Amino acid sequence: MKDYIVRAISFDKTVRIFSINATDTVKEAQVRHNTWPTASAALGRTLVVGAMMGAMLKGRESLTVKINGNGPIGEIIVDANAIGEVKGYVSNPEVHFQYPNGKLNVSSAVGKDGELRVIKDLGMKDFFVSSVDIISGELGEDFTYYFTKSEQTPSSVGCGVLVDTDNSVLAAGGFIVQIMPGATEETISKLESVINNIKPVSKMINEGYTPEKIVAEICKDEPYSIISTLDVHFICKCSKDKFARGLISLGKDELKEIIEEDKGAEIVCHFCNKKYHYSETELLELLGSINN
């Protein structure tokens, strides 16, 4: 099953629901970064929610989620856009903590002393930056707090990643339920009771639930309509040319120094872990392209 997001409305258009299967996306992130299970869960949960937040944007808008709770994983960075492209990494992929019951302890990896920041690039150099303190480090709760506090939209965020015994990702997905103006108390309490009793989302995905089926679980006997669907992929658009422009921007002196000292350069893309090698000849060419 390919990865995609559905957007739905229910409860007389007073509730909006996003739901995603992101198994392949998180699987790819795990392979590229060789993350240990708890790091896979932390990065995967952020990719899951980041992708849904991307789906809330329009046109060429994009966003970056930066989480730093001062835990051993360091920073978690995820980029997403309105067309279902998402990528991300963590500072330290080799992090693994478990609760005594065997569940992945994401909170201990992420830490609780820091912030969750969202930077939206709305085009024309127009940025929207907003952040909240990390309150749990399990991330679902932190995103819930972000939407309610920063975007003034009462929301409930579920996100989960199931990791196999060989460290590969078995299932990943999530949902965001948002209460729009005009929702009744009855609607809110009904949703609260459903969400408090819903199966873990990674388990639902692993049992073959589609994003549509997760929406149906959340709405129970309430009618809903699916407004749109969006395919999701882990994509990094880095290239040797792009990084070459970065080398050029270092300036003549620094580039000369690299050539003299290292006789070449290797650049690793943080987002996808791809390595680009520049030979001495290539670096000299770049140097030659700089006008005084």
Interface with Zn ion (CB under 5 A): 236, 238, 269, 271-272
Q: Residue 7 or 33: which CB sits closer to Zn ion?
A: 33
**79 vs 142, which CB is nearer to Zn ion?**
79
**How deeply is 80 buried, as exposed, middle or buried, from its count of CB atoms within 10 A (0-12, 13-18, 19+)?**
buried
Bridge-based pairing state of the strands 85-90 and 233-234? parallel
Query: Quick check: 235 and 86 in contact, CB under 8 A?
Result: yes
CB of 276 to Zn ion, least distance (A): 9
Would you say 237 or 252 has its CB closer to Zn ion?
Answer: 237
Residue pair 161/204 in contact (Cβ under 8 Å)? The answer is no
CB within 8 A of 102, min separation 6: which ones?
none
The residues, any chain, with a CB within 8 Å of residue 274's CB and separated by 6 or more, are 236, 238, 268
Q: Give residue 157's Cα distance to chain centre.
A: 13
Considering the complex, what minimum distance in angstroms separates the CB of residue 65 from Zn ion? 17
Nearer to Zn ion, 198 or 235 (CB): 235
What is the closest distance, in whole angstroms, from the C-beta atom of residue 63 to Zn ion in the complex? 18
Shortest reach from residue 48's CB to Zn ion, in Å: 20
Of 93 and 160, CB closest to Zn ion: 93
Q: In the complex, what is the shortest distance from the CB of residue 238 to Zn ion, in angstroms, rounded to a whole number?
A: 3
Q: Is 223 helix (H, G, I), strand (E, B) or coil?
A: coil
